[in-house]
A and B are shown apart, each in its own frame.
Chain A
Amino acid sequence: MNSSISKKGIFTLLASAIFAFTAPAVSLANVKNPGLLVHAADDEATTLDPAQVEPGEGGETIILQVYDRLLDIDPYSPNLIPSLAVEVPTIANGGISSDGLTYTFKLREGVTFHDGSAFTADDVKFSWDRAMEMDLPEGNAGALSDVVASTEVVDDFTFRATLSEPVADFLNSVVVAMVSSVVSQDAVEANGGIEAGVPNEFMAGNMVGTGPYKFVVWNRNENVQLEVNDSYWGENAKLDVRIEIGGDPDVRVLGLRAGEFDTIETDPSFVADLEGADGVTIYTGGLLLEPLHIGFNLNIPEGSLPDGDTIPEDFFHDPRIRQAFNHAFHYEAFLNGPLAGYGAFNPHYTPIGIFGHDPSASVYSKQNYAEAERLFKEAGVWDEGFSVSVITEEGNLFALMCLVLKDSIEKLNPKFRINVLAVAEAVFDDAHAQNPLEYAMWAKNADPAADPNFYMQAYQHPDGEWGEVHGFANGYKDADKIAELIDAAAVELNSNKRAALYKELNEILYNDPMWLIGAQEGVVMAHRDWLKGFVQNPLWPRPSLKFSLFDK
């Protein structure tokens, strides 16, 4: 090596340094990336197949853009609007039979898939049957197969579904769900067809739909690119889309401020980082339909609790202890700290923003140490104290909720100890999927749904998903009554009567809580001012955006 080489090296370094100073000197006043919408998402998709996607998972939002369903949700209201079906079936227009069992959809004509093939009723039947036949454990096929008894092609543009029993929320919960998306029969059959219980590799990584966007490429862990479908049956989208995946929340915030991203997914704790930023609008409308909650396990297998837990297995069988936890939690701290004030408290278990939520229902929203102390004393655990672990995913709001719980309980009585086990997502999923569950408490959020029946079934019914795992029957003061009310509300077609049933449940469950609901998280999105037509509807899968409505 001689000096001329190193001088060249220094020159190269200098040159690139100078370049770095001059190259990005693009004025921020101009719209960056014209014609392209760059969205920074926080979660990677695991599949793009509607039959495989899990509700709440990152792939859902891409499916929302590329595939159509028979019906859709209006961008500006919770109402249903036609999509591939030309009208919303009602009893009045003959779309729903009077017994509530048969739904007939008149379909749109002249629609083509992105591969050019024509859309007919066969595709609808094929898509629904496909999901039910594949019945992938990770997917949401159950939403269809639980209620749909049969599907039928009446003619090329009429599709009929028959239910096994009347379901009040069939259109709202099933027809608009991502699992009901219409895929191209030709494309699936040309690429592996249907095999029960086995994911279709082509469909997991490719999309052939009818939606306003065509799928271009998925660079795993990097980005997903979509392009405008020029022959869309509805109004064409204006911007191509690139969805940037992952990255730190902080990077998304910085990228938005720098104009590299047009919209970002963020959470309330980042509002402070965005306030006052040039050219950035913070959208804080509404609430997510995924209340943050901590579960009490009433079905702990003997001797399975982590080392250090001193509670007996039947600890949470006592409603007073569950109530005491609910009273002790520092709701204000959680709302004003981690949630930066964006959130609210919902009754057990009807989230704010869906049918059945009654603002006058009793709700835990204030820390009440006196009441908590009284209940803990009554239950006989005050003097001796206890130590209990709560398991959660690390690095997110769930972990923070657990820390608030820890501080709340430990400050109430120093003899009480809460160990927060914040573990990797997969480890948590593993622990969380066990039945019976080997932890006394865990923290996560609820799955989103459009109807109270889902929440009541999944989170409160003694024979429901969690009722079974957590052994609610071991703890409810009157389990039969609760089961009866939930079952009655599920099939009640009169909405006033239905609402009254949920109100009654709210009151019973306030005094016999099976959860500690930390808060219902506020929706926080941020976008560049140059983005026009921004709208967000929490009933769409998270982040609840339809890119085809935007322009810049």
Chain B
Amino acid sequence: MQLRDYILRRLMVLPFLIIGVSIVVFTLTRVGGSPIGIYLSHEMTPDEVLEIEQRFGLDKPVWVQYLQWAKGVLSGDFGWSGISAAPVADVFPLKLAATMELAAASGLVALFLGIFLGTFAGARRNRAPDHITRIVAVSGASLPQFWFGILLLIVFWANLGIAPIGRSDATVFASINHPTGLYTLDAILAGSLRAFWDAIWHLMLPAITLGYGATAIIARMMRSALVEELQQDYIDAARAKGLAEKLVLKKHARRNALVPTITVIGLTFGFLLQGTITVEIIYRWPGLGRWMAASVVRGDQGTLMTYVLFTSVLFLIVNLIVDVVYANLDRRVTLGK
């Protein structure tokens, strides 16, 4: 199959998947009954409840509600966020930037740690350092992040007082403009070193908490790819030429091993995205995850639906991009399997 056909086919399936997800999500939120609770208080009389029902169109049949909702989504109206007392579409972009920044920073942490650990283990296969590295990496994937985050907070925030919570110092944050919503980037654009450090300083613990969880997959991939590369003929040839082992490892094997490692970025992204929920709760990070958790606990289904739909679409698109990029990089991959 041609690469172009492959991309086209994937693109054609995408809208159907998205519609499928939206139906599943919408059905789900109606299984538990009407989402009216978030608008109610117990002093309301039945007439007042009816009035609220009409205000939000909840008195119509479910499929009509779905179509209304879908129509709204297509025109950029994602409904009302009960917990934020504002249209979902107004609040969403603000939260999104914060979450993306955290996910990206965590991704970087995972990438650095993963490549480092993977190379370290791959070069020392089946020896003690390999086993220890494996436990370190697998530990990351096994840690309940909400608990790991609490432990870090106990040590660095509550006891040592050397780490902050939240996303920024409100005063510093207010001192610069926020054209992109990404604090680090805005700080660079504004040329404010103080704001940049503030951003990095607040990012550190959450990014480590989340990034460590995603390290295992990258380390794992890196290790096996490296092991495979190290057995290729060209490595032997390089060694025969008298190249130092360290150089062989770094210049040749590691560079080639990075290619298959890219495939897992899609998976890593999904993991980081869902990981933001608990990490944001613990570090008081003003992103989508914390918003989502709050709406879950308060039973705000408008927010919940948008979040699930959005993350799924994002997840699908990232996976598509990764697959395409990988297919481009490595023509050996059989397409469309």
CB distance from A35 to the nearest CB of B (A): 11
B86 near A433 (CB under 8 angstroms)?
no
Which of B30-38, B65-73, B130-138, B329-337 lines the interface with chain A? B30-38
Tell me if B48 and A137 are in contact (CB < 8 A): yes
Chain B residue contacts of A9, Cβ below 8 A? 112
**Among residues 390 to 429 in chain A, which have CB atoms less than 8 Å away from a CB atom of chain B?**
394-395, 423-429
Q: Mark B166-196, 1 if CB is under 8 A from A, else 0.
A: 0000110000000000000000000000000
A353 sits at the interface (CB 8 A): no
Given contacts A251-B284, A258-B161, contact A424 B298 (CB under 8 A): yes
Contact B162 A137 (CB under 8 A): no
**B157 proximity list for chain A (CB < 8 A):** 254, 258
Contact B201 A220 (CB under 8 A): no
**Quick check: which of A14-22, A147-155, A173-181, A380-388 contacts chain B, the rest being far away?**
A14-22
Whole-angstrom CA separation of A469 from B49 in the bound complex: 14
Residue of A3, A221, A427 with most partner-chain B CB within 10 A: A221
Residue pair A204, B85 in contact (C-beta under 8 Å) = yes
Complex: chain B residue closest to A38, CB-CB: B170
Tell whether A156 is near chain B: CB-to-CB under 8 Å.
no
Bound state CA distance, A243 and B161, in angstroms? 22
Interface-forming stretch among B16-24, B39-47, B121-129, B311-319? B39-47
Among A3, A16, A17, A426, max chain B CB count under 10 A is at A426
Structural contact, A44 and B84, CB atoms closer than 8 A: yes
In the docked arrangement, what's the CA distance between A447 and B44, Å?
13
Q: Is B43 a contact partner of A465 (Cβ separation < 8 A)? A: yes
Q: Once the chains bind, are A3 and B250 in contact (CB under 8 Å)?
A: yes
- B324 CB within 8 Å of chain A: no
Which listed residue, A19, A197, A204, A433, touches B200 by the CB 8 Å rule? A19
Interface residue? B1 (CB, 8 A): no
Instruction: Please pick, from B83, B91, B162, B297, the residue contacting A24 in the complex, using a CB distance under 8 A.
Output: B162
> Known contacts A54-B43, A223-B170; is A395 also within 8 Å of B84 by CB?
no
A246 in the interface (beta carbon within 8 A): yes
The CA-CA distance from A17 to B95 in the complex, in Å, is: 26
When the two chains form their complex, are residues A429 and B37 in contact, meaning their CB atoms are under 8 A apart?
yes
Interface pair B91/A1, CB less than 8 Å apart:
no
Is B51 touching A137 in the complex (CB atoms < 8 A)?
A: yes
Report the bound CA distance from A242 to B35 in whole Å.
32
List which A426-476 residues lie within 8 A (CB) of chain B: 426-433, 435, 444, 447, 465
B322: interface (CB < 8 Å) = no
What is the minimal beta-carbon distance from B253 to any residue of chain A, in angstroms?
A: 12
Contact mask B292-322 → A, CB, 8 Å, 1/0?
A: 0010111111000000000000000000000
Given contacts A54-B43, A221-B294, contact A426 B91 (CB under 8 A): no
B33, B164, B170, B300 — which one has the most chain A CB atoms within 10 A of its CB? B170
B100 CB-CB contact with A under 8 Å: no
Min Cβ gap A263→B in Å is 16
With an 8 A cutoff between CB atoms, is A166 at the interface?
A: no
Over the window 214-257 of chain B, the binary record of Cβ atoms lying under 8 Å from chain A Cβ atoms (1 yes, 0 no) is 00000000000000000000000000000000000011001100
A6-B112, A430-B34 given; A424·B44 CB < 8 A = no
Q: How far is the CB of A407 from chain B (nearest CB, A)?
A: 25
In the complex with contacts A9-B112, A220-B84, A221-B83, A425-B299 CB distance below 8 A: yes
| Chain A interface residue bracket vs B | 35 or more
B contact residues around A17 at 8 Å (CB)? 204
Q: How far is the CB of A167 from chain B (nearest CB, A)?
A: 19
Q: Across the interface, do A138 and B41 meet the contact criterion of CB distance under 8 Å?
A: yes
Partner of A197, one of B49, B51, B84, B286: B51
User: A205 and B86: CB pair below 8 A?
Assistant: yes
* A429 and B297 contact, Cβ closer than 8 Å, known pairs A19-B201, A222-B286, A242-B170: no
B40–A16 CB distance below 8 A: no
CB B13 to nearest CB in A, in angstroms, measures: 33
Question: Which residue on A lies nearest to B108, using beta carbons?
Answer: A9
Judged by a CB distance under 8 angstroms, whether B78 is at the interface is no
B110 contacts A by Cβ under 8 Å:
no
On whether the beta carbons of B44 and A45 are closer than 8 Å, the reply is no
* Residue from A10, A20, A435 within 8 A of B162 (CB atoms): A20
Q: How far is the CB of B89 from chain A (nearest CB, A)?
A: 13
Q: How far does the alpha carbon of A255 sit from the alpha carbon of B291 in the complex, in Å?
A: 20
Q: Taking chain B's interface residues, is the majority helix, strand, or loop, or is none over half, making it mixed?
A: helix
Assess the A23–B51 pair: CB atoms within 8 A.
no
Q: Does A47 contact B (CB under 8 A)?
A: yes
Chain A residue with the shortest CB-CB distance to B174: A225
Q: Tell me, in angstroms, the Cα distance from A447 to B296 when the chains sit together.
A: 25
Knowing A3-B250, A254-B158 are in contact, say whether A429-B258 is a contact too (CB < 8 A).
no
Given contacts A54-B43, A427-B37, contact A433 B49 (CB under 8 A): yes
Q: Is B52's beta carbon under 8 Å from chain A? A: yes
| Contact (Cβ within 8 A) B165 A137 | no
Contacts A16-B200, A242-B170, A433-B41; A6 near B116 (Cβ below 8 A): yes
Given the known A-B contacts A3-B250, A23-B197, A426-B37, are A220 and B43 also in contact in the complex, defined by CB atoms under 8 Å? no
Q: Is the CB of A44 within 8 A of B83?
A: yes
For B158, the chain A residues whose CB sits under 8 A away are: 254, 257
Within 8 A of B (CB), among A180-237: 197-198, 204-205, 219-223
Q: Which residues of B contact A247 (CB under 8 A)?
A: 284
Given contacts A19-B200, A247-B284, contact A428 B85 (CB under 8 A): no
Q: Which residues of A contact B46 (CB under 8 A)?
A: 435
Contact present for A1 and B254 (CB under 8 Å) = yes
Is B273 part of the binding interface, using a Cβ–Cβ cutoff of 8 Å?
A: no
- Is B163 positioned at the interface, with any CB of A under 8 Å from its CB? yes
Distance in Å: Cβ of B233 to nearest Cβ of chain A: 23
Complex CA distance for A47 and B281, rounded to whole angstroms: 24
**CA of A309 to CA of B36, assembled, Å:** 26
A435-B46, A465-B43 given; A429·B165 CB < 8 A? no
Given contacts A16-B200, A247-B284, whether A432 and B85 have CB atoms under 8 Å apart is no
Provide the bound-state CA to CA distance between A444 and B83, in Å.
20
Pick 14 A–B contacts, CB within 8 A, sort by A: A44-B84, A46-B85, A137-B49, A138-B41, A219-B286, A220-B94, A247-B284, A258-B161, A426-B40, A426-B82, A427-B37, A430-B36, A432-B42, A433-B49
Leading 9 A-B pairs by shortest Cβ distance = A426-B299, A430-B37, A137-B48, A426-B37, A424-B299, A46-B85, A426-B38, A220-B84, A433-B40
Binding site for A on B (CB under 8 A): 32-46, 48-49, 51-52, 55, 82-86, 91, 94-95, 112, 115-116, 153, 157-158, 161-165, 170-171, 197, 200-201, 204, 250-251, 254-255, 258, 281, 284, 286, 290-291, 294, 296-301
Known: A254-B165, A425-B298. 19 other contacts (CB 8 A): A2-B250, A20-B201, A137-B45, A138-B52, A197-B55, A204-B85, A205-B85, A220-B91, A221-B91, A221-B291, A247-B284, A254-B158, A424-B296, A424-B297, A428-B37, A430-B33, A430-B34, A432-B40, A433-B41
